[in-house]
Amino acid sequence: MRVQSTVVSRPVRVIGVPSDLGQGRRGVDMGPSAIRYAGLAEKLRELGHDVEDLGNIDVPQPESRAQGDQKLKYLSQVRAVCEQLRVLVRDVLRDGQMPMVLGGDHSLSIGSVAGAAEACGPLGCIWFDAHGDMNTDQTTPSGNIHGMPLAASLGYGHVDLVGLGGFSPKLRPDRVVLVGARSIDPDERTLIRESGMHVFTMADVDELGMSAVMHKAIDIASDSTAGIHLSVDLDGLDPMYAPGVGTPVNGGFTYREGHLAMELLAQAGCVRSVDFVEVNPILDSENRTGRMAVELAASLLGLRVM
């Protein structure tokens, strides 16, 4: 049984982004509802946090729009969604609150990172993901923009994505840490190496242990920055624990490794904004992945065994 320790109350503002424009499998548009239904607000309030749900960003349905460029599917729509999110995340942070963004596909992080960087200034980033998310329109094998948000945040890719908010890059590569990678496209691998960002693959997690990896990641992302933007793709976890994701990859984080990572981030106290993305209830079993997102959010905001 997990019980809470003393938690410093934080004003948390929940933002839903019911978008599957950036991904090739339908269903992640229902992710925000699945996470809410799993009791997110109630769990965080039990911990003593001031929680307000700001509702959902307005997102067009793919059926009503043309895909456009097959290397940048739904580009104009994705950009419009991310622009709405950028402004909302920026304003929430400027009001001294913590934005918690619920997805929806990972393309939304182009907007959340942009808003956080605009509000906070120099920002570190920890990116939990089985994938690199470092494709561009020149390298993508699918044309799905959910494979491009980290590249866009670092200044690589199409101007409509890179230039969101009128500035680029949003992140310094030497303050970005990808954790849990185990499925990287060949051209992504080249760009990752050239960029200078930091990567801890699952092999690194196996060899070093999650505790050592997280201490290193936190040190890197918090060094000379105004805080950390945390982006959690639920496919970072092994499908055994999070089956409801669009692009599952075997060999991910265990239940305890996921919670330990969040607990260490909570202990460090440096996370300014967070995304939980790629929850797909259509592919889930009894909302296990939605519940997992809620449990990780609770650990990030102070839930402990003792």
Q: Residue 230 maps to which CATH number?
A: 3.40.800.10
Mean pLDDT score of the chain? 95
Give the pLDDT score at 62.
82
H-only helix segments in the chain: 31-37, 40-46, 75-94, 109-120, 149-153, 159-162, 186-195, 202-208, 210-222, 255-268, 288-300
CA dist., res. 246 & res. 233, Å (int): 10
What is the average per-residue pLDDT within 220-234? 98
CA dist., res. 189 & res. 195, Å (int): 10
| Residue of 295, 253, 276, 284 whose CA lies nearest to 105 | 276
What is the average per-residue pLDDT within 83-107? 98
Residues taking part in catalysis: 106, 129, 131, 133, 146, 233, 235, 278
* Pair 16, 30: CB distance under 8 Å: no
Give the pLDDT score at 206.
98
Kindly list the distances between the CA atom of residue 255 and the CA atoms of 123, 184, 277, 288, in Å, as whole numbers in the listed order: 28, 23, 17, 12
3-class DSSP state for residue 178?
strand
| Residue of 76, 197, 83 whose CA lies nearest to 132 | 197
What is the average per-residue pLDDT within 113-135? 98
3-class DSSP state for residue 42?
helix
pLDDT higher than threshold 70 for residue 6: no
> Minimum mean pLDDT among 55-69, 215-229, 247-261: which range?
55-69
pTM for this entry = 0.96
Give the pLDDT score at 69.
83
Question: Comparing 292 with 62, which gets the higher pLDDT?
Answer: 292
Residue 25's pLDDT band (boundaries 50, 70, 90)?
confident
| Residue of 94, 83, 51, 194 whose CA lies nearest to 136 | 194
* Pair 127, 113: CB distance under 8 Å: no
Give the pLDDT score at 7.
67
Give the pLDDT score at 109.
98
Q: Is the peptide bond before 147 cis (omega within 30 degrees of 0)?
A: no
C-alpha angle 144-104-46 in degrees, rounded to nearest 5: 155
Residue 250's pLDDT band (boundaries 50, 70, 90)?
very high
Residue 68's pLDDT band (boundaries 50, 70, 90)?
confident
pLDDT higher than threshold 60 for residue 106: yes
Q: Is the peptide bond before 11 cis (omega within 30 degrees of 0)?
A: no
* Residues of the domain holding 263: 3-304
What is the average per-residue pLDDT within 66-83? 93
Give the pLDDT score at 61.
85
Question: Domain total for the chain?
Answer: 1
pLDDT higher than threshold 60 for residue 3: no
| Residue of 224, 202, 227, 223 whose CA lies nearest to 213 | 202
CA dist., res. 227 & res. 267, Å (int): 13
Residue 284's pLDDT band (boundaries 50, 70, 90)?
very high
Question: Comparing 282 with 25, which gets the higher pLDDT?
Answer: 282
Percent of the chain with pLDDT over 90: 91
3-class DSSP state for residue 69?
coil
